[in-house]
Structure 1
Amino acid sequence: MTAAAVGLSHSPLIGQNDPALDVLDRVGEAITTAKKFIAEFDPELVVLYAPDHYNGFFYKEMPPFCLATEANAVGDFGSAAGKVSVDTGAAKLIAQGVLDRGIDLTISARMTVDHGFAQPLEMLFGGIDAVPVVPVFVNGVATPLGPVSRIRALGTAIGQAADELDLRVLYLASGGLSHDPPVPVLEGAPPRVADALIEGHPPTPEQRAKGEQRVVQAGRDYVAGTSTILPINPSWDNQLLDLLQDGDLAAFDDWTVEWMGQQGGGSAHEVRTWIAAYSSLQASGGYEMNYRFYESIPAWIAGFAVTTARQR
């Protein structure tokens, strides 16, 4: 098997609260570079690590991570809705291989995914049905959160299991980096909000539109300097990228849940998807990061990064 990895930040504010044109141009160039890398690699399977934002996973049952054998996108924030082209056969084989390696993996036969999964598939492949995918949800929002070492173990096991498929596999990470958007939390939530976070009642179109507008306004407030959210942290973001580039993934085991939130904001744990993807690639042998882009983008409330890497 030949393996590669791409890391790509996402944001619900892309296309809805955009930065200056020169920033968009730089981001566009970075995405084009990643697309060229993918076209050259020509993956036969994409293992996509992404978080959820209380659209598919709720506190009634909140696994630390979950692999899908089928998936449907909800279509939030203007992202694509509908059936994701999951390679069910490959997903089942990888799932069994992960379980055989002692990782307590949750399986979903009908996963609901949101923009965290849809955006990278749309941006890099042109649609959510354009390439065979194995979706892997990695919780990066709902506390309590486990140690990062378990995410590394997950990524390693998936990499080892996928290695047995004898396919060109692209590990794709979606999320982060530092960002602190207005995501609801269960602790201290009003009864109506708590019930929605636990039971997962689908919002009405009006409720969804209102919630999405709240996030858009948060981006505008952040740019205007009137927001109380934790600032984007380029230093922490680049520390993460340095460790990924150096292949020093074991160093992430020292990153505590509390420290990550303090440094990167309430949604900084989405970087767990990057750690998982690069752990999968490392499981196939040494790798080299051959492209790295980073920009702090207040309009998107995100430290935005794009990376590509391939086996040596």
Structure 2
Amino acid sequence: MPVARTNGVELAYETAGDPDAPALLLVMGLGAQLTDWPQEFTTLLAGHGFHVISFDNRDAGLSSALDDHRVPDIPALLAGDRSSAPYLIADLAADAAGLLDTLGVQRAHVVGASLGGMIAQQIAVDYPDRVASLCSIMSTTGDRTVGRATPEAAAEMGRRPAAGREEVIAGSVARARIIGSPGFPATEEELRQRAGAKYDRAYRPAGTHRQYAAILASPDRTQALRRVTAPTLVIHGEDDALIGVSGGRATAAAIPGAELLTIPGMGHDLPRELWPRITGAIARNASR
């Protein structure tokens, strides 16, 4: 897998589609890897006429691990002391912009999911000339009064990291039943296969901890989002237990001219049944 060296880190990435087509950058979420964008999903996007670029954020997948940093103090971060966070969402956005530099891409359509949506928003704020269009999926603005998790989802995400492949797979399946899409449930076999493949590629719980610290330490983006001029689409599941739909509504309200698509039955994942609808909506927003 190719690696881009930028902003002091190495980012593993891959591409799909015609290299001469307009670039579309996919940004994944907390502890997620580029493989969490299903291959069929990226193929659909390429079929809409995009050169699709996906990558592992720092501290995830095959990209750089920042294990030399001290362990973030999550309770202190929740209380407002940001000093233990090794980096911010703005640094993750700078990584993504640097990847575009490495690939010689001046402007891209930027699509992010969950933490990836936060990073995509920050790219649009910090590098407006680089963003042809923006799509924020199942994400929020950084305002802690919106997009709140249900108690059950919050408790599940706060569990200690699993210790071993089978425990990781079992935990991933249990988590999917809590935060996944109730209207489009995945099969047990599919959930286990995804979790196993993800574990075998890279299991980085300490990196996920540091990414979570970046979320907690980063400022509310609401006011900054009012400066975004790129055509924007916000997609959110109406049954998202991890980032409540109010987070998507607040994002759309903050960005001038943003379109909001809420989907009944969708939770905090990308159900196979919705891939054509979601990729079609992304393509229509890009055409704006």
Q: TM-score over 0.5 for the alignment?
A: no
Bigger RCO of structures 1 and 2 (CA < 8 A, at least 6 apart): 1
Output the TM-score relative to the length of structure 2.
0.33
Which protein is richer in strand relative to its size?
1
